Amino acid sequence: MVSSRLLILNFLRFFVISLSIVLLFKLHRLASIESTEESSIYSLPSSDLLSSSLDSENSRLLRLHELLARPQIKCDKKLHGEAPEDFFLCTPNDFKKRSNFTSGLLLSGSSVYRGDFVATLPITKWTAIVPPGDQSILRLSGAVDVHNLEEIHRWREWKTEEIEKKIRDKKYSLAILHLYSGMLRPSEQLIKKLTSLMTSSFILLIARIKDGTDADLWTNSLNHLFYEKNLVLIGATSSGLCGRTPMSCEYRISLSLIDPLTDRHLPPPFNLGSPQEESHRLLQYLSSHHHPCHLISPPSIPSFCSESIDNHTRSLLLTYRNLTSIPPLFPLNSSRLTIVSPHN
| Spatial CA neighbour of 174 closest among 205, 219, 206 | 205
* Entry pTM: 0.65
Percent of the chain whose pLDDT exceeds 70: 68
Q: Which pLDDT does position 45 carry in this prediction?
A: 37
Q: State mean pLDDT over 231-256.
A: 92
Residue 133 zone, left/alpha/beta (φ > 0; ψ -120 to 50; rest): left
Last residue of a domain, one of 233, 257, 281: 257
Same domain, yes or no: 179 and 302: no
Helix 188-197, helix 212-229: angle, nearest 10: 30
Residues 151 and 299 in one domain: no
Average pLDDT rounded to a whole number, residues 207-231: 93
Q: Do 239 and 150 share a structural domain? A: yes
Of the given ranges (144-153, 171-180, 292-301), which has the lowest mean pLDDT?
A: 292-301
Q: Can you tell me the mean pLDDT for 246-257? A: 94
Whether residue 276 contacts residue 284, with contact meaning beta carbons closer than 8 Å, is answered with no
Distance CA 191, CA 188 (A): 5
Any domain includes 9: no
Beta-bridged to residue 144, according to DSSP, are: 126
Mean pLDDT of 140-149: 90
Q: What average pLDDT does this structure show over 129-136?
A: 88
pLDDT score of 29 more than 70: no
* Overall average pLDDT of the 226-252 stretch: 92
Same domain, 299 and 173: no
Report the pLDDT value the prediction gives residue 91, as an integer from 0 to 100: 73
Instruction: Please state, rounded to an integer, the average pLDDT across all residues of the chain.
Output: 78
Does one domain contain both 320 and 194?
A: no
As a whole number, mean pLDDT of residues 67-87 equals 87
Residues contacting 314, CB < 8 A, separation 6+: 336, 337, 338
Res 193: pLDDT:
94
* Same domain membership, residue 331 and residue 250: no
For residue 34, being part of any structural domain is answered with: no
Domain tally, the chain: 2
Helices (H), the chain: 2-43, 57-69, 161-167, 188-197, 212-229, 275-289
Residue-wise pLDDT for 282-323, tens only, equals 676 666 655 566 667 766 666 777 666 777 778 787 777 676
26 found inside a domain = no
Residue 224 pLDDT greater than 70, yes or no: yes
Q: Classify residue 250: in a domain, yes or no.
A: yes
Is pLDDT of 38 > 50?
no
Residue 154 predicted with pLDDT over 90: no
Which of 87-101, 112-126, 217-231 is predicted with the least confidence, judged by mean pLDDT?
A: 87-101
For residue 213, what are the CA distances in angstroms to 109, 227, 306?
21, 21, 30
Taking only Cα atoms into account, the Rg of the chain, rounded to an integer number of angstroms, comes to 32
Which residues span the domain enclosing 192? 57-257
Q: What is the pLDDT of residue 49?
A: 43
> Is 317 part of a structural domain of the chain?
yes
Of the pLDDT bands very low, low, confident and very high (cuts 50, 70, 90), residue 178 is: very high
- Whole-number pLDDT of residue 293: 67
Same domain, 302 and 176: no
Least confident of 12-26, 199-213, 218-232: 12-26
Where a domain ends, among 205, 240, 257?
257
If asked whether residues 298 and 202 sit together in one domain, one would say: no
Task: Please check whether residues 174 and 219 belong to one and the same domain.
Answer: yes
| More confident call, 270 vs 162 | 162
User: pLDDT band at 240, cuts 50/70/90?
Assistant: very high
Confidence band, pLDDT 50/70/90 cuts, at residue 155 = confident
Helix (H, G, I), strand (E, B) or coil at 215: helix
Q: Is residue 295 part of a domain?
A: yes
Which residue type is seen at 344?
A: N
Residue 250 sits in a domain of what CATH number?
3.40.50
Q: Helices 212-229 and 57-69 meet at what angle, rounded to 10?
A: 40
Mean pLDDT of all residues in 28-41: 46
92 touches 75 (CB < 8 A): no
115 and 252 part of one domain: yes
Mean pLDDT of 203-228: 94
- Mean pLDDT confidence for 121-148: 90
Is residue 204 in some structural domain? yes
Q: Are residues 172 and 319 in the same domain?
A: no
The 10s digit of each residue's pLDDT in 134-144 is 888 888 988 99
Residues 252 and 306 reside in one and the same domain: no
Residue 13 pLDDT greater than 70, yes or no: no
Q: With 80 as the cut, is the pLDDT of residue 331 above it?
A: no
